[in-house]
Amino acid sequence: MKKHKWQLGLLVVALIAWLGIAFYGYLQTDSSSSSLTTVTIGYQKADPVDISRQRGELAKKMKAKGYKVVFKEFSDGTALTTALKAGDIDYARFGDTPPVTAQANGMNLVYIAAGSSKENGSGILVKKNSSIKSLKDLKGKRIAYTKGTSAQFLIIQALKKAGLTTDDVTLVNMDQSASSVAFAKGKVDAWVTWDPYTATAEVEQNAKLLVDGTGLSKNRDFVISTSKYAKAHTAVSKYLVSYLSDDMQWASTHQSKLITMMSKTLHLSKAVIKLQVSRRSFSMGKVTAAIVKEQQKIADVFYQDGVITKQIKIKDALIK
């Protein structure tokens, strides 16, 4: 009986010791986790930030520098702008037009980095058997586009090139999913969009690009932050741009893996993704003077056409 109590006592002591060690380990882990500074990045599906998210290297490298990266997915640039302005995210991956409209609306933002042009995968889609053979043939036609996106800038520029204005066509503002359905059913004659929508339509909807974005719209990716956050976190921005650049280099040199990854993410065929990837390059780096000029062109055109009501200078949104 005494022996039994003695064994039970040893068991209790051992259990208490084990619980103590486990609790100490928890505290150590929790302490390690809480010591990391959180950095939240907003993205849209299959953009450069999403590629980095899926690859996983950026989060690992940032953790080694003392930062925990949290990725938040958004459906469009408007939602990203709202989140960035509210402080729900620290950085946002935008296309080329949302930063322009946000700046014009008084948001104190800064350009952190710029990506490669996606002009070859952006453009105006028509059906292969369409009577529309040139930009001039768009006169009187119904054209789907999404307001406030690169599609709006592209169609304005394309019509000007043909000697037309937005008054010469019927622009139908709808999101990309609705545009795809309208285009497939013949409810619109043309559709202004970008990859992977252009590639999907070409591969699966008997469509062709009447013109791509060459000479019209570069349609770049940008990493944007608020001026307040960027000024206080210069090291974070430096690391982020460097690691995003590494991932874009990986994307450029591992296209087979990239195609497989994006096909699963977007739930699209590899044929669609292969076409998309084949006509673009991947990079993320400095916002050059030439890129500032491109963005200023968008701002000037949007102001002239009444898309924005305030003239802005893109250089005011650069890191000083």
Phi, psi (degrees; rounded to nearest 5) at 75: -80, -30
Cβ pair 113, 238 in contact under 8 A: no
Q: How far, in Å, CA of 267 to CA of 262, rounded?
A: 8
Same domain, 124 and 110: no
- Residue 124 belongs to a domain: yes
Same domain, 107 and 137: no
Same domain, 102 and 126: no
Mean pLDDT of 214-236: 97
Phi, psi (degrees; rounded to nearest 5) at 295: -65, -35
- Residue 270 belongs to a domain: no
- Residue 77 belongs to a domain: yes
pLDDT top residue among 231 and 77: 231
Provide the pLDDT for residue 30: 41
Tell me the pLDDT band of 319, cut-offs 50, 70 and 90.
confident
Burial group, residue 284, by CB count within 10 angstroms (0-12, 13-18, 19+): buried
Same domain, 125 and 191: yes
How many structural domains is the chain composed of? 3
Residue type, position 119, single letter: E
Same domain, 159 and 233: no
Same domain, 12 and 154: no
Task: Give the residue among 300, 294, 244, 252 at the shortest CA–CA distance from 113.
Answer: 244
Same domain, 298 and 254: yes
Q: Please tell me the pTM assigned to this model.
A: 0.86
Phi, psi (degrees; rounded to nearest 5) at 305: -95, 5
- Residue 256 belongs to a domain: yes
- Residue 309 belongs to a domain: yes
Provide the 8-state DSSP code for 315.
G
In angstroms, what CA-CA distances link 302 with 98, 151, 194?
12, 12, 19
Nearby residues of 12 by Cβ (< 8 Å), 6 or more positions away? none
CATH number of the domain residue 91 falls in: 3.40.190.10
pLDDT digits (tens, 9 = 90+) for 78-114: 899 999 999 999 999 999 999 999 999 999 999 999 9
238: helix, strand or coil: helix
Same domain, 92 and 239: yes
Q: Which domain holds residue 139?
A: 120-212
- Residue 246 belongs to a domain: yes
Same domain, 228 and 313: yes
Provide the pLDDT for residue 61: 98
The two tokens of residue 231 are 């000024």
pLDDT at 13 over 60: no
**Cα torsion 49, 52, 54, 58: sign:** negative
* 5-19, 131-145, 221-235, range with the lowest pLDDT: 5-19
Same domain, 99 and 28: no
pLDDT digits (tens, 9 = 90+) for 133-144: 999 999 999 999
Q: CB under 8 Å, gap of 24 or more: what pairs does 178-185 form?
A: 178/144, 179/144, 179/145, 179/146, 180/205, 182/144, 183/125, 183/144, 183/207
- Residue 273 belongs to a domain: no
Cβ pair 10, 3 in contact under 8 A: no
Same domain, 30 and 42: no
DSSP-assigned letters across all residues of 60-125: HHHHHTTEEEEEEE-SSHHHHHHHHHHTS-SEEEE-SSHHHHHHHTT--EEEEEEE---GGG-EEE
Cβ pair 221, 248 in contact under 8 A: no
The two tokens of residue 70 are 């949290």
263: helix, strand or coil: helix
Same domain, 41 and 30: no
The two tokens of residue 120 are 């070859």
pLDDT digits (tens, 9 = 90+) for 268-278: 999 999 999 99
- Residue 191 belongs to a domain: yes
Q: How far, in Å, CA of 142 to CA of 160, rounded?
A: 17
Give the chain's end-to-end CA distance (angstroms, integer).
Answer: 80
